[in-house]
Amino acid sequence: DTAVSQTPKYLVTQMGNDKSIKCEQNLGHDTMYWYKQDSKKFLKIMFSYNNKELIINETVPNRFSPKSPDKAHLNLHINSLELGDSAVYFCASSRDMDSYNEQFFGPGTRLTVL
């Protein structure tokens, strides 16, 4: 059983398109995250949600809109895709927002914008 799953695994699209990435966790966790990993492997948090409430919104263009329909799901919608959006996007979850908690990561979605 996959703890944190993401779909799709690969996404290739043209500039200007709109796309979504879905994430689901079956761990019963309260908190979920989106991270962006660039081509140099640098990992940076984009958003975090706790019990469907937005907690962290880093300096991310407003073309990126997360949505949490319930505690187990956190989706990422991206409008008007740009070349610089090409990266690997990771979803993660943790039991709650206590900072000692382990974060569990999904396998990643490799987005390529042409």
Partner 1 sequence: AQSVTQLDSQVPVFEEAPVELRCNYSSSVSVYLFWYVQYPNQGLQLLLKYLSGSTLVKGINGFEAEFNKSQTSFHLRKPSVHISDTAEYFCAVSPPISGGSNYKLTFGKGTLLTVNP
Interface positions with partner 1 (CB under 8 A): 4, 40-45, 48, 50, 55-56, 90, 92, 96-100, 102-108
Classify residue 33 as exposed, middle or buried by CB count within 10 Å of its CB (0-12, 13-18, 19+): buried
- Say if residues 96 and 103 touch (Cβ distance below 8 Å): no
CB of 31 to partner 1, least distance (A): 9
CB of 82 to partner 1, least distance (A): 23
Nearer to partner 1, 108 or 112 (CB): 108
Nearer to partner 1, 66 or 106 (CB): 106
Nearer to partner 1, 7 or 108 (CB): 108
Radius of gyration in angstroms for the set of CA atoms belonging to the chain, rounded to a whole number: 13
- Say if residues 111 and 20 touch (Cβ distance below 8 Å): no
